[in-house]
Amino acid sequence: MSDTPLLEGKNLSKTYHLGQSDIHVLRGASLQLFEKQWITILGTSGSGKSTMLHLLGGLDRPDSGGGVVLFRGDDVWSRSNKQINQYRNNDIGFVFQFYHLLPELTVLENTMLPAMVGGSNISTLEARDLASSLLDQLGLQHRRIHRPRELSGGERQRVAIARALMNSPSILFADEPTGNLDEETGNEILDVLSQLHQDGLSIVMVTHNTEIASRGDLIVHLRHGQIESPATMA
């Protein structure tokens, strides 16, 4: 493992202003992710774990003076808007609890979407072939022409994972990826993530469930907006 982190969040702070109240969600939280590592951020509801993921993934900005996010040593938030969009579209992939599939598109079209809207240089035919290959890899080859409403929850999440992998990201962010699934289906999704990790993908996942958190290499506890001492998994 390289001594240089693939991704690093340093002293991240985030405050939301609601009326005359300030909600301090993150208070100087720091985290390092290395190549081929799976880190799980474990915390209760309201601990700031999803906010942490959004800051690391370029979906939200830290407070002014509220820390930095470094990807391969480069400050993400000092980039131009175009470069930040390239980071979101090409360097990372996101999987959410509620799938966020477009209901009017087929499974294949949903999977292709990042290549179609993210400034990718591949042709539509190449994108279709890549999306088909990813769906095959995730056991969804028989669902390509179906629409999300025709799928089970586990199948929808597999499509979301395929979509997140479409632009060959360096990091997969997973925000409570089993939170909307029953235990058996959730374990199947975790098995998919485990296989991707074994194949070399770096993962940052957030969860409130200790058993789910144990799937990764390292658990970091987030409490009251601050990272506590990490625990390496055996």
Residue 217 lies in a domain: yes
Asked if residue 1 is part of any domain, the answer here is: no
Q: Going by C-beta distance under 8 Å and a sequence separation of 6 or more, which residues neighbour residue 94?
A: 57, 59, 164, 172, 173, 174, 175
Residue 212: strand, helix, or coil: helix
- For 7-38, the pLDDT digits (tens) are 999 999 999 988 888 889 999 999 999 999 99
Q: At 191, list the tokens.
A: 């098995």
SS3 for 69-91 is: EEECCEEHHHCCHHHHHHHHHHH
Tell me, what's the pLDDT at 228? 84
Tokens 């907006």 belong to which residue?
A: 225
Per-residue pLDDT averaged across 208-222, rounded? 93
Higher pLDDT, 128 or 97: 128
Q: Would residue 86 be called left, alpha or beta, if left means φ above 0 and alpha means ψ between -120 and 50 degrees?
A: alpha
pLDDT in tens, 153-201: 999 999 999 999 999 999 999 999 998 888 999 999 999 999 999 999 9
Q: What is the pLDDT of residues 37-72, one digit of tens each?
A: 999 999 988 888 999 999 999 999 999 888 999 999
- Range(s) of the domain holding residue 20: 7-232
Helix (H, G, I), strand (E, B) or coil at 166: coil
Buried b (16+ CB within 10 A) or exposed e, 76-108: beeeeeeeeebbbbbbbbbbbbebebeeeebbb
Q: For residue 85, what is the domain's CATH number? A: 3.40.50.300
Residue 211 φ/ψ, nearest 5 degrees = -65, -45
Query: How many domains does the structure of the chain reveal?
Result: 1
Longest dimension (CA), the chain: 53
